Amino acid sequence: MEALTSLIGGFAVLGDPANIMYMFIGITLGVLIGVLPGLGGANGVAILLPLTFSMSPTSAIIMLSCIYWGALFGGAITSILFNIPGEPWSVATTFDGYPMAQQGRAGEALTAAFTSSFFGAFVAVIILTFLAPLVAGFALRFGPAELFAVQLLTFCSFVGMGKEPPFKTIASMMLGFALAAVGQDPSTGELRMTFGWYEMLRGFDFLIAVIGLFGIGEILLTMEEGLAFRGKSAKINPRIVLETWKKLPRYWATAIRGSIVGCWMGITPGGATPASFMSYGLAKRFSKNGANFGRGELEGVVAPETAAHAAGTSALLPMLTLGIPGSPTAAVLLGGLLIWGLQPGPLLFIEQPEFVWGLIASMYIGNIAGLIVVLTTVPLFAAILRIPFSIIAPVIIAICAIGAFTVNNALLDISFMMVFGVIGYAFKKLNYPLAPLVLALVLGDMAEGNFRNAMILSDGSMSIFWSNALVGGICALALLMLFWPAISAGMRLLRPGTSRRPAE
Amino acid sequence: MQHEEQGGESLVSIRKADIVVALIMAAIGGVVIMDSLRLGMGWSEYGPESGYFPFYIGLAMVVASLGTVATRLFRKRDSGGSFVERQQLVDVMKVLLPAGVFVFLIGFIGIYVSSALFIGAFMRWLGRFPWHTIVLVSVCVPLALFLLFEIWFLVPLPKGPLEDFLGY
């Protein structure tokens, strides 16, 4: 099968020892980043992105995706040992993971978490391998109108499927678009919203926003919890690992279900977080030990972890094939690809197959390597977290500042980062979603470009958006998503007799 | 997540904060609309004018934010509790203000020296570490960063008088 031959070709790219080294460095950095608060997946990748400019795009993306992996794994460590979810999608892991740690079964929980993550991600990568070329081939038929429709669908799904109030989702998204529009209009060259301020010519870089929103914002939020950072100790040795591995196959159904939920949610821009919750909820309902969930049930760790990692991995599928990132971290990776001059989308598979398949191959090996690295170094990372917050916090902020600076060599960006930090803090507290903001910031110019081109093709008529079944179908779905909150509220009101939950 | 309730008094309720932020967002939307009108949001021979897209973005922002305000105003009862308590605000400021000073100083004395001062100040005021630990960490970390970025990665970072003096 063609996919397999391409994959094998991809592995050849990894034969280069430099790439293998980058892989391991990436994973180690990734776990470190995932473990430290404020340096989570999207932020960490954002900070390290400019450093990779000197590498070849293939090596750089391999390292960055391994950082992504490592961060996925690392989030579980803090969730289980400290009851602090390292990433939003590790929240569900704390439900059973932390009680297990409290009962002295931290090693078991960690092993289960890492192995489940490995499994979920592995399933997702296999699906990605075979599905990606198909989707890419299909996507070749997409013209600007279709591409815009897909992007529209993405954003409308946030409104429809998100748990945040729709008004806030829209406002957050629009803020992202507005920030993306600042600077030079790519089509006409006119200056937008710069107000005569020369520095604003560059516009807002999504990397600065990500570092500020997710990094600084996270630190500010952590400060609210006070400076306490006490965690359970973890003893993980081969014996515990083997014993846990013997127990895990019992939960194969949960794992498979989790992976499928994850893959599905990851491809749609729902993301890893709802996937992990959904998987946890399903497992709780269908499991024999459902009643025990929340008190240290091993299955309660398997379910969210498989889903979260499957989702995190499959978020890369739409990114590579359509140029639509399924998660903020994928958005950052997308931004990176754009910076290197690679255009994600169907043409990427045709024009740069070595890059794409090298990346996909690295996901397999990176996954395995990640599991090994993480199982062996858990005590080390747990120890790092014991460094008092009063030392870690300023160091993290300093690293964020460095990261923000290296993007454009602009001092002003560091100040912007702080502003974004305050925004991130306020938004999180007020239940404004951050993901649509970031996605809008990354995709804003592209979406507008597609819209413009579609309009030019149709001579200014909106009818191009339902000119054929594909575009029309996607647009209809998008509109459905957009108005879903209103529709479902209406349905609730119309159904008599059902207990009326107060509308949010 | 462990939350240490310190029974602090609420400084601002979520309701008020929500309304204020939504109004700020609406104002930003207004600014976007204004600038779009300046650029023109109609159609030129080349397709949509510069202000076309931003106009609708600004409009959506204003409408959505006013929607949030309206929803909040209609729910009279103060649900949701506190946006920030006194102790929480103090804790957040403990990071935010020094960080602000840190960022400000970078432009004058370079990032390495600023980091050293920042880390040192943090360790002293919030960590109450003994002086020798403070000096050790706050010098070693920026030094490590210096070696990492200036020497290994060859990524230039803002430097100040000290580095000039040392010949970098």
Higher pLDDT, A472 or A419: A419
Reported in sequence order, the residue ranges of A307-381 that DSSP labels E, i.e. its strands, are: none
Q: What is the pTM of this model?
A: 0.75
DSSP label at residue B123? I
Portion of chain A with pLDDT greater than 70, in percent: 88
In whole angstroms, what is the distance from residue A219 CA to residue A39 CA? 9
* Residue B6, pLDDT score: 46
Verify whether the Cβ–Cβ distance A226 to B43 is below 8 Å. no
Cα A281 to chain centroid distance, Å, stands at 21
Residues 364-423 of A with CB under 8 A from B: 388, 390-391, 393-395, 397-399, 401-402, 405-406, 409, 411, 414-415, 418, 422
Contact A393 B129 (CB under 8 A): no
Instruction: State chain B's maximal CA–CA distance in angstroms.
Output: 71
Region A106-128: what's the mean pLDDT?
A: 86
**How many Å lie between the alpha carbon of B162 and the closest alpha carbon of chain A?**
18
Of B68, B92, B155, the CB nearest to A171: B68
Residue A497 lies in a domain: no
Q: Which of A224, A229, A328, A218 lies closest to A273 in space, CA to CA?
A: A328
Q: pLDDT tens digit string along A154-201?
A: 788 778 766 778 888 889 999 998 888 887 777 777 777 777 666 676
Average per-residue pLDDT for chain A = 78
Beta bridge partners of B44: B47
For B:44-83, CB contacts with A below 8 A are: 46-51, 53-54, 57-58, 60-61, 64-65, 67-68, 71, 83
Give the tens place of pLDDT for each residue, A291-327. Answer: 777 778 888 888 888 888 888 888 888 888 877 776 7
8 Å CB contact of A406 and B95: no
For residues B31 and A421, what is the distance between their CA atoms, to the nearest angstrom?
Answer: 22
Residue B75 contacts by C-beta under 8 Å, 6 or more apart in sequence?
none
Query: Comparing C-alpha atoms, which of A365, A438, A405 is closest to residue A154?
Result: A438
Instruction: State the DSSP code for A10.
Output: H
The DSSP 8-state label assigned to residue A503 in this structure reads: P
User: Do the Cβ atoms of A411 and B126 come within 8 Å?
Assistant: no
Residue A250 lies in a domain: yes
Which residues of chain B neighbour A164 with C-beta distances below 8 Å? none
Q: How far is B48 from chain A (nearest CA, A)?
A: 7
Task: Inspect the interface and report whether the beta carbons of B48 and A455 lie closer than 8 Å.
Answer: yes
Q: Which of residues 257-286 of A touch B (CB under 8 A)?
A: none
Name the packing angle between helices A41-48 and A57-82 (round to 10°).
Answer: 150
Residues of chain A with Cβ-Cβ distance to B95 below 8 Å are: 219-220, 223, 393, 397
By C-alpha distance, which of A251, A260, A261, A258 is closest to A108?
A251
User: What's the pLDDT tens digit per position in A47-88?
Assistant: 778 777 777 777 887 888 788 778 778 778 877 877 766 666
In terms of CA atoms, which chain B residue is nearest residue A192? B35
- Answer whether residue A23 is part of any domain: yes
Coil, strand or helix at B48: strand
CB contact under 8 A, B54 and A181: yes
Angle subtended at Cα B145 by Cα B141 and Cα B149, rounded to the nearest 5 degrees: 175
> In this complex, do B25 and A171 lie within 8 Å of one another by their Cβ atoms?
yes
Contact B114, B102 (CB under 8 A): yes
State which residue of chain B sits closest to A431, comparing Cα positions: B18
Residue A66 falls inside a structural domain: yes
CB pair distance less than 8 Å for B22 and A188: no
pLDDT of residue A419: 92
CB contacts < 8 A (A, B): 181
Shortest CB distance from A418 goes to which of B99, B115, B119?
A: B99
CA nearest to A181 within chain B: B54
Residue A349 lies in a domain: yes
Chain-chain contact of B142 with A167 (C-beta, under 8 angstroms): no
pLDDT at site A270: 55
Q: Average pLDDT in the A128-152 region?
A: 78
The answer to whether A402 contacts B142, with C-beta atoms less than 8 Å apart, is: no
Per residue of chain B (168 residues), give pLDDT as tens.
334 444 556 777 888 888 888 899 999 989 888 888 887 777 776 667 777 888 888 899 999 999 888 888 887 666 667 777 777 788 888 888 888 899 888 888 888 888 888 888 888 887 777 888 888 888 888 888 888 777 766 677 787 777 777 776
More confident residue, A260 or A379: A260
The nearest alpha carbon in chain A to B64 belongs to A167
Residue among A395, A272, A322 nearest A150 (CA): A322
A434 touches chain B (CB under 8 A): no
Q: So what's the ipTM on this one? A: 0.84
A167 vs A170, A274, A478, CA distance in Å? Answer: 5, 20, 16
**Apex CA A123: angle with CA A120 and CA A125, to 5°?**
105
**B18 in contact with A, Cβ within 8 Å:** yes
| Res A418: pLDDT | 92
Q: Is the pLDDT of residue A3 over 80?
A: no
Residue A5 CB partners (closer than 8 Å, separation 6+): none
Cβ of B64 within 8 Å of Cβ of A401? The answer is: no
CA atoms A31, A67, A320, A169: torsion sign:
positive
A134 pLDDT more than 60: yes
Q: Given this model, what pLDDT does residue A466 score?
A: 77
| Range in A24-28, A134-138, A449-453 with the lowest mean pLDDT | A134-138
Which among A232-236, A272-276, A366-370 has the top mean pLDDT?
A366-370
A288 domain-assigned = yes
- Write out the two tokens for A401: 């500042």
Among candidates B61, B84, B115 on the partner chain, residue whose Cβ is nearest the Cβ of A398? B115
Residues of chain B with C-beta less than 8 angstroms from the C-beta of A429 = 14, 17, 83-84
Contact B95 A171 (CB under 8 A): no
Best mutation target among B52, B72, B95 (most A Cβ atoms within 10 Å) is: B95
What residue in A sits closest to B19 (Cα-Cα)?
Answer: A430
What distance in Å separates the CA atoms of residue A456 and residue A445, rounded to the nearest whole number?
Answer: 16
Q: Which two tokens stand for residue B51?
A: 């202000």
Query: Domain range spanning residue A480?
Result: 2-484
B104: nearest CA partner in chain A: A415
% of residues, chain A, pLDDT over 90: 1
A451 Cβ under 8 Å from any chain B Cβ: yes
pLDDT of residue A498 exceeding 60: no
A351: number of Cβ within 10 Å: 11
Q: Do B119 and A426 touch (CB under 8 A)?
A: no
Write down the pLDDT at residue B57: 87
Confidence at A332, pLDDT banded by 50, 70, 90: confident
**Letter for the amino acid at B120?**
G
pLDDT of A497 > 80? The answer is no
pLDDT value at position A500? Answer: 47
Model confidence pLDDT, tens digit, residues A428-474: 888 888 878 887 887 787 788 888 888 888 777 777 777 777 788 87
Strands B82-85 and A183-184, how do they pair? unpaired
Give the number of domains in chain A: 1
Residue A81: the pLDDT is 78
Tell me which residues of chain B, numbers 134 to 153, contact chain A at a CB-CB cutoff of 8 Å: 137, 141-142, 145, 149, 153
pLDDT, tens only, A90-100: 777 888 888 88
